[in-house]
Every structure is written in C-alpha cells, then in structure tokens.
Structure 1
C-alpha cells in the first residue's frame, strides 16, 4: 500500500521514482485518479493464482502483522515525513524557541489537542449530526450534545476575557448483557481541579450475563442495590455549578474515548483522546495502552488490581495526568521519531511535477464517511461526484464499496459480535444474478469514469486485500477463547469448537497472509 501511495505522489508531486516500476516522461502526467475497489478478487476476474503466471494485474500486500491486517486506508493516506522536511521542522522549532521562549506557555491551551472531525471519523467516534452526518444513532436512547449557540462564544461586556471551557476526564466500565456490553459505572473528573464530580454505578437496561469483574471491577453484590439508569449519566455538561457563566460545551477527555461515548450513548463534538495524541512506539495504526502510557510518561503503574478489575477513577486521573504532561512539555511530548503526515499535507507543500507553483495541487476524496455505518454515498452518487471533480482536480481518490458489500467482506473487517461472543459463520455468498448485476453496474461506472478523465491522467485501481472473513472468524474465536480463560474457565472444560490450539495459530497466520493479498491495475488516459 505504501508503494501505491508513493507512486501517486511521484506522478503528481515530488516523491522519488518507485524502484519497482519505470515511468517515462512523468512530468507529462496532468492528473492522478485512484480507485479502491475491495472485492475485486482473482476469482471474480477469473485470473490464475498469482504470481504463478503473468497478467496485467500486479499483486499487492496489505500491511499488518502475523495475526491481523492493518488499515489499507490509513497506510495509503499517511506517509513518512522525509528527512529533509523533518530537519526543516526541527530548525523552525529551534528558531521559534530561541526567539519566543514564552510562546509555548501562551499557547498552553488543551483545545489544541482536540480531535479533528476527520480524526473522529477515522477512529469511529459517534459524531453529532450537526458536525458531520456520518453516524446514525441506533435508537432513541442516544443523546446528542446540543450545538453551541453563537451567543455563548461571545465575551460579555463586563468580562475581561472569555471563560475557560470545562474539561472532564471520563472513564466507563461495562458488563455483558444479552444485548452485548452495557454501561455499569461511569467516573467523571474535573481536569483543572482534579475533583471527582460524578462516580456512579449504573443499572443496565437488560439482565447481566457476565460481570467481567476482572476488567470492570463490578460484582453482583455491588450492583444489586443500584437503581440509577443510563440517562442521568449521559450529560457531563450538567455537572456545571456556575449558572452565571455562559454555557460552553465542555471538552471530554479519555483513552479510546469513542468506547466510553458509545457506552454512554452520547454524541459529543469536542474530544481529546490520549490514545491518539500519544504515539505507539511502532507507529500507526497501533494505539498505545493507557497502562503503558502512564508508566512510560508519568512514572507510575495503574491497572494492577488483578482479578479486582480496573478502577475508573484511576484511569480517568491517568488521562488527566497525561494531558497535563502534554501541556507542560509541548505537542511533541509522547511522540516517537517515526513521524507521519497526510498525503494532502505533502501535496500542499509540493510543486506539481507537470509544473505550477508550490501548493497548487488540488485534491479531492470521494468516500463513504464512516465505513462502519455504510449509510453514506451509494455507487451512483459516488460516480456523479467523481465526474464533477475529475476535470478540476489533480489528485482524486474514491472508493467503490458495492461489490464488497454484496460479498459481505466489510463484515469480515468489522465484525459486529464482541470478543466475548461466539464467532458467527460467514453469510452465504450472493446469488449469481445479484453478483452479476453489481459487476455490470461497476463496469458501467468505470467506463463512464474513464470517458470523463482528462487527457494524460494516470488511473490507479487497487483492491487493498482479498476476502477477510476467514481471518476475522479465527480472530473472533481466538478472542473468545482468551476471554474464557481470563474468566477462570479451565481449557479442558471448553467444548472442542471453543478451544484455541497451535493448529489454529498456524491457520490464522495462513489466513492473514491470504487476506493481505490484493491486486493493482495501472492505466493511462491518452
């Protein structure tokens, strides 16, 4: 995937030439259009198994480790910062520190670490509808933080400066019910005062089937007298006790906060996530664990209670301390040397290879928004949007998902069941007539797009991966087995279909390698 990304950047921007492909007269290219079409497998195309015989499709390999495939989109859209650019940034930083030593203190504002809309979409956050229409609330029990009024953003005449926005650190614990994991405890800490302003057990709406005590710390005895239900816990802003202060939507802080918001059934616009603003030592798309971050950067250990489970107050305070470390030491604190940037950042500071001033490359992405929801653009809408932007943009990326959806491939990448549930069998394959209809529509869309491409456009089509369902099923079985063992069940007491053996490990590694295989097609519009 990184080589496909670098090929695109070489054609349209200033990246070096690839070492696996020779491109003559690269400056003659005016545009690049990149299409990701999952589901376009060798079986669909009736191609021989690659690489046993030559064909016009180039084999590709998705990123990942032995047991998992990493995000194809993340790899394509993020590129390592070059050594030259890294040196320039370090020089700018040194100059800034030497001439303006107090600048960091003046910009010591937690708001600089707020997740962008794009980051929230990427990390599967439940966004309010007024922020981006990419998340569909599953039912009426969900709450959406009201949109901030314009009046609340204005400083009153008798105020010298606008009041500080509240910041609440949140951590939730869940237990298992017949509907999956549900909230059973929530702790909220005021970032600036360190005061616990809310710490309550919450009664789930459905009967509990597993208290998950090893992680949640919740027991049947502790939850027995509890009558508090979810709604009172879903509005952190209601904890404000200063009625004379204009209401400002608070900032919520947490670690992998999207999980807590989903447990609270809350859509919130302003979030800081310590799993995002701090880096994993091996880089994206891996996320660092909270216990590791706290030991690494705060010098203390948390989550050491063993069978007693996690303490949500302890975890929430860890997030407070980590954010404070960022504020004390600057944005680079907690980051590692493997720096990445968006390919659009790269294009913005590059000249077009075909000629033009710095920053003249216009790019567009035509996509579905949040892939986990799949209620966004349909194929015909995608085509219409593509036809509108390809004449006026130098770089265009689009993703066609109809084929992957009818084949059920996205369910393999994002399984609905939790790691504690029994793995589900893949859905049966679509009828030949249904598949034929989708393929005919895909062909028609590609023909229409090719006809609309400007002259001297490079067309790059890649599939990203093959069928991930076997890999996903094995990973689900592995997770279910590990959960059973952690809950105290003896391995010899499990049913044969629940066990995880060395043979399954080898099968998973083989399935992952098969899943990583993809196809690449290259073309030029004369």
Structure 2
C-alpha cells in the first residue's frame, strides 16, 4: 500500500511537467494510459477494501450464526419446564381445583390460556400423574405467619424441611396455595371439580346433537358412592372393603340392608313413602313399591311407632281414619321390602335418601330422579317430582295438595319410574343443564390424538376393574393406599393421564382423634408413621414415572365430623321450614340460626384451605 501511494505521487508530477511543455500526442497517449492504470489500481484497491469488508462482515455473520445456532441448540436441549406467574397482581383468591384441571387440559390440548403458570416446551410433556392426598394440610408445612403471606405460592426452600415429608422438598420448588371446591356453607367433591370441564356454547350444541344418538342403560344412572355420601344416603356394606378404613362415622349402624339373592320377575323397582310427624321426627305411615312394568308390588299403610302430632294430610294424604285398625309395623315393612328387593336390583325414587333413612334400610344401587334431572337454577337446587312430571311427562300429580287429600305414594312411585324410562330413551343429557363434559372427553380429539386415562379410587367399581369407556377412560377400585401405589406403578406406562387418591393419612388422623376422644392414652407415633408412609408412597410413585411426566400432588378439603353434623342439621331444618313444619317443637341443637351459620362458614373456610405441588420428572 505504501508503494502504490509513492508511485501515484510520481506519476502525478510527470503528468504536470508534460502539460507545462505543451502536451504532445505521445505525452497525451501516455497520460491516458497512465490514467487507465491509475483507475485500474484504484478499482483494485476499492475491490480489495470491499472484499475485506465482506470478509469481516462474513466473519461477524458467522459468529452471529454460531450464536443463533447455540441458542437453538440450547433450546432444543432444554427439558420441559414451567414458571409460576400471576398476570393479575390484584388477584386475591388462591388457585381453585379447576385451575389445576385447566392446566391438565393445556398440557394435552395446548388450548387453555393459563394466567398463573407458563410452560416451556409443554408439547414434550407426555404424561400427567395426579395424586389427591387427604389428611395433609397447610399447617403441616406453614406456620401461622407464612399462612398469612399474600403470595399464592411459597418457595419450599423457605420452609423448614421435615424428615417425615422430605419428598416434597426434594422434588418440588413451591408450595402452591389452593382453595377446595365449595361455597360458604358447603364442600363439594374434588374429584368432580377436577374431572368436569365447562362447555362453550358451541360445544353445548354439538354435545346435545351427539347425545340424541347415544343411548344409555339404567346402570349409567346409578349413583356412585361419593354421590351417595354427598346426598346423605345410608351406605351399604357392599361399598366397604374394610370397615375400619372408612373416613366417616357411620350414623346408620342400626339399619338393615338388602342382601343379594336370585328371584324371578322385575329387577328394577320404584319406591315412595308417606310420612307424618311425631314430637321428635318423621313417622312412616305408608309405603308403596312398583316394578318396572308399573305394577304395584307392595302398598300398605303403616302403624305409627310414635304418637302423631301432625298428619300433614295436605302432603301425606294420611288421616287418622286411614290408620285405624292398621297393624303393619315399620319392621314388617322392612322385612317385606328385603324379601322382594335384592341388593343387585335397581331401586328408583325421588330424593330417596329420605325414604331409606326413615325405613332404616341400606341399598347400594340407587337411581334418584332428583339428581338425574336438573333444577332450572342448577345444583345444589333439586327439582320437585311434581314439576318434573308436568314438564317431561305432561302429567299432573300431587293434585291433592290443593284439595287437601294429599299425595299418593303409588302415583309418585310410578311418576319417578316413568321419568327414568324417558331418560333412558332420550339420553344422558336429557333433562340436564348441560354445561360440562368429563375431562377425559375434553382432552381427547379423535381426529388428532387419543389420550388414555385411568382413575384409581376407593369408590365401588363393578367387577373392581372397570372397562375402558368411549373416552378411553378406565376406572379401577382400590382397597388401600398400598394397592393404589401398586396399580399406578403397574399402569403408568399404559396411560397418558392417571388420577389417584391417597387417604391413609386422613384415616389414621381420624382414628387417633377418635381414640383421644374416648379418653384413651396414646402417643403420637401412629400419626408420625402415617406421614412417613405417605412420604414413601409418593416417592415410590414418583420414581416409577418416565422422564418428562408432570407430577401433581393436590390436597383435599378437611371434611370433619363437626362439619357433616352441622350441614345435616341445616338441611333438616330448612326442609322442615319449606314443608311448613312446627319449628318451635325442635330441640335447640336441631335448630338453625345465625350463630350456627357463622360457625359453619368459619369451619368451611378453614377446611377449604388446601395446596398443591407441581414438578416435571427429569432423569438425574
């Protein structure tokens, strides 16, 4: 480069000398030749500079490309993950169980917007395993100060580690505060909230059209154990594998129950009873049973076993004259019904829990028209039999209310039977406010993918091992937590979604509380052992999971005996109030007032304080 600058300077001087002596043609030619040479050299230099710039630019681009490739490579090498966020900083409520359900839908369908969590590479999460744990509470992790923190999740590193619950600190980063399903004075089923997804208007129309072609059998309407418990039905021993494993005090220990036996004729019956009032309770005064053909199998007036103070004739149709000379007792009615109805037979009725509790009979296979059909306001309101009969059967029943002659139990039993026949004919969504579909149906898109799911629970399943339904969903009954863990481990490779329940901690806590209430001295080792067992069970399940499995542990509401008793008092009081009963005659403990309402709300609020934990299994 130095040489060229010097050469150009010499040429420039020579050219100036030629011009000074007049510029001969030879010199002009020489000058042009030199000009061309100069231009060529300048062009070469410019090209050289351009090429250098290109080389430099290419080098820079190459480095940038390498950086981009490294970022892409890092992204490709990243494992699926998540970040807890709250898009609405003013949000005051903890997460609901429905938020966990929406997260499951998002993982499988990538269609739900989640305001509280952001996933990384959620499409690579192939399986989801959920464990619902009863008996584990926030107090087991958080002291009073941390309970009141405004944040909806607490880093587990900020919580002292417990050896009995070490699994949580080892496999999760956060404790996420949740609120169990319910309202101010009620607790709802966690399983139902987790496995039911609200429908859009379009989905409702499509489902209604599909249901017209999907016929059902009466077995599809039979209440499951959790529903029987929720609506105060007496629980038959068929549901109990180990009586000491039940998480509630059986208030029906003195009841009789149907037994299984072979018999000719109908296997489906409809039952209705009429009652009058004594000073302390309802008294059975008539019982009617019809078979599936609508024929009256049994109908009798019943001699009251207590003095009647109100015949409630407007509703019951019973008068003193009708009961004169009647010798059939409540025990006679029970024996007769148990000789007709096998435990495997289906028993239909409207709010049949009331009849069975007065009769003191336990039966496992129940179809309830008050639950098969919806009230226009939706649950928890129940439709009346009179309204259902008018709307769906175009039949006027219970006209005796206006004339004073009261109801007919035969008429009501036939109406309930015909409503169920119509329901079977029209499909599952008939008479229902169709607002939800099962989670297992929501995550399945047959045209795109098939998602298989498994439920492992303690509620009765025919044959114990259920069959796969149209939503590729299977339900298996478990007898205890050890069996639940075994079933999950054996099936984790066969299903995309598994939902299970662990309840031994709750049962052990209840057993220990009952023992203490019985004034028996006991130490705390059984409870401590229960925490260790839970820790071990969760560890076993987690270790069996394949890589990139989302693992969710969600606790359940603490439904105490005190809450159950208060809800029962409330329901009985309100029902008596609706029927125009004599509330003044009730003992104080059976009355419902403002103070009891406040007490129940406080207990429900505390019981609904739950939590969940989320992790994505990675190989270490």
Q: 1:384 aligns with which of 486, 501, 504?
A: 486
Measured in 2, the distance between the counterparts of 1:135 and 1:212 equals 42
TM-score for both structures, normalised by structure 2:
0.61
**1:143 to partner: Cα distance:** 3.0
Measured in 2, the distance between the counterparts of 1:9 and 1:433 equals 41
Please give the per-residue CA displacement for 1:470-525, whole angstroms capped at 9, x wherever unaligned: 5334334434655787652527x854x55543233233233322222211111111
Please give the per-residue CA displacement for 1:436-492, whole angstroms capped at 9, x wherever unaligned: 11111111111122111111010111113245455334334434655787652527x
**1:234 to partner: Cα distance:** 2.5
**1:279 to partner: Cα distance:** 2.1
Match of 2:497 in 1: 395
> Does structure 1 residue 116 correspond to structure 2 residue 220?
yes
Match of 1:60 in 2: 178
Match of 2:206 in 1: 88
Match of 1:513 in 2: 605
Q: Aligned in 2, Cα 1:385/1:46: closer, same or farther, shift over 3 Å?
A: same
**1:49 to partner: Cα distance:** 1.1
**1:302 to partner: Cα distance:** 3.2
Match of 1:417 in 2: none
Q: Aligned in 2, Cα 1:407/1:237: closer, same or farther, shift over 3 Å?
A: closer
Measured in 1, the distance between the counterparts of 2:609 and 2:137 equals 9
Task: Tell me the secondary structure at the aligned position of residue 187 of structure 2.
Answer: coil
**1:387 to partner: Cα distance:** 1.5
Q: 2:509 aligns with which of 378, 388, 407?
A: 407
Match of 2:258 in 1: 143
Match of 1:42 in 2: 138
**1:317 to partner: Cα distance:** 3.0
Measured in 1, the distance between the counterparts of 2:376 and 2:460 equals 27
Measured in 1, the distance between the counterparts of 2:239 and 2:566 equals 34
Task: Tell me the secondary structure at the aligned position of residue 535 of structure 2.
Answer: helix
Measured in 2, the distance between the counterparts of 1:521 and 1:299 equals 53
Measured in 2, the distance between the counterparts of 1:427 and 1:5 equals 41
Match of 2:349 in 1: 254
Provide structure 2 residue ranges, at least 5 long, that are not aligned to the other structure.
1-96, 155-173, 244-251, 462-476
Measured in 1, the distance between the counterparts of 2:506 and 2:100 equals 20
**1:250 to partner: Cα distance:** 6.9
Deviates more, 1:71-80 or 1:212-221: 212-221
Matches within 5 A, 1:350-389: 358-359=449-450, 361-370=451-460, 377-389=479-491
Please give the per-residue CA displacement for 1:175-216, whole angstroms capped at 9, x wherever unaligned: 899xx9896642023554x54332124579xx6588885576
Please give the per-residue CA displacement for 1:6-43, whole angstroms capped at 9, x wherever unaligned: 21122134542422211121101011010111221121
More helix, by proportion: 2
Q: 1:293 aligns with which of 382, 388, 403?
A: 388
Question: Bigger relative contact order, structure 1 or 2, given CA contacts below 8 A and separation 6+?
Answer: 1
Match of 1:189 in 2: 290
Task: Tell me the secondary structure at the aligned position of residue 349 of structure 1.
Answer: coil
Please say which structure displays the higher CA radius of gyration.
2
Task: Tell me the secondary structure at the aligned position of residue 521 of structure 1.
Answer: strand
Match of 1:273 in 2: 368
> Does structure 1 residue 488 correspond to structure 2 residue 590?
no
Measured in 1, the distance between the counterparts of 2:175 and 2:221 equals 36
Match of 2:118 in 1: 22
> Does structure 1 residue 344 correspond to structure 2 residue 462?
no
Provide structure 1 residue ranges, at least 5 long, that are not aligned to the other structure.
97-103, 153-163, 239-248, 352-356, 413-424
Match of 2:564 in 1: 472
Match of 1:462 in 2: 554
Deviates more, 1:48-57 or 1:137-146: 137-146
**1:309 to partner: Cα distance:** 7.5
Question: Is the CA contact 1:213–1:219 (under 8 Å) kept in the aligned structure 2?
Answer: yes
Measured in 1, the distance between the counterparts of 2:299 and 2:513 equals 36
Count of residues paired in the alignment = 459
Q: 1:452 aligns with which of 544, 560, 571?
A: 544
Q: Aligned in 2, Cα 1:457/1:291: closer, same or farther, shift over 3 Å?
A: same
RMSD across aligned C-alpha pairs, in angstroms?
Answer: 4.7
TM-score for both structures, normalised by structure 1:
0.70
Matches within 5 A, 1:65-214: 65-90=183-208, 112-116=216-220, 119-124=223-228, 141-146=256-261, 168-173=269-274, 185-190=286-291, 192=293, 194-201=294-301, 208=306, 214=312
Question: Is the CA contact 2:126–2:496 (under 8 Å) kept in the aligned structure 1?
Answer: yes
**1:219 to partner: Cα distance:** 8.1
Task: Tell me the secondary structure at the aligned position of residue 474 of structure 1.
Answer: helix
Match of 1:245 in 2: none
Q: Aligned in 2, Cα 1:6/1:321: closer, same or farther, shift over 3 Å?
A: same
Task: Tell me the secondary structure at the aligned position of residue 144 of structure 1.
Answer: coil
Measured in 1, the distance between the counterparts of 2:485 and 2:211 equals 44
